[in-house]
């Protein structure tokens, strides 16, 4: 992922506005408390990336997970709709009451 440069603006003592350029050239704005911003910066540095690239990767990864969950759910619902037979044939009264 390419390195993207973020702009950080102090809104008040504990809240910062982070403007993150996206890969398509648009910006998004996040409002984070100082402690969260520091933690996020540290994680980005630890992963040898910019804050912008790190946040963009989080968004992409979460959207991919969500798409995967949707596909699994759709498949499970289709299986339930189609139905399945647990045991071929019918049970006799004696088979139902066997212990």
> Hey, what are 1's tokens?
């992922």
Length, in residues, of the chain? 99
Residue with token string 């037979």: 85
- Report the predicted TM-score, pTM, of the whole model to 2 decimal places: 0.55
How confident is the prediction along the chain (99 residues), in pLDDT tens digits per residue?
Answer: 445 555 555 555 555 556 655 555 677 788 888 899 999 999 999 999 888 888 888 888 888 888 888 889 999 999 888 887 776 677 788 888 886
Cα(58)–Cα(45) distance, integer angstroms: 15
């Amino acid at each position: 992922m390419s390195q993207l440069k973020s702009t950080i603006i102090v809104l008040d003592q504990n809240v910062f506005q982070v403007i993150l350029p996206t890969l398509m050239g648009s910006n998004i704005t996040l409002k984070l408390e100082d402690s969260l911003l520091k933690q996020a910066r540290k994680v980005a540095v630890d992963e040898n990336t910019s804050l912008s690239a790190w946040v963009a990767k989080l968004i992409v990864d979460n959207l991919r997970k969500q798409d995967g969950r949707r596909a699994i759910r759709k498949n499970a619902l289709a299986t339930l709709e189609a139905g399945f037979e647990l045991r071929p044939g019918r049970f006799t009264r004696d088979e139902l009451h066997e212990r």
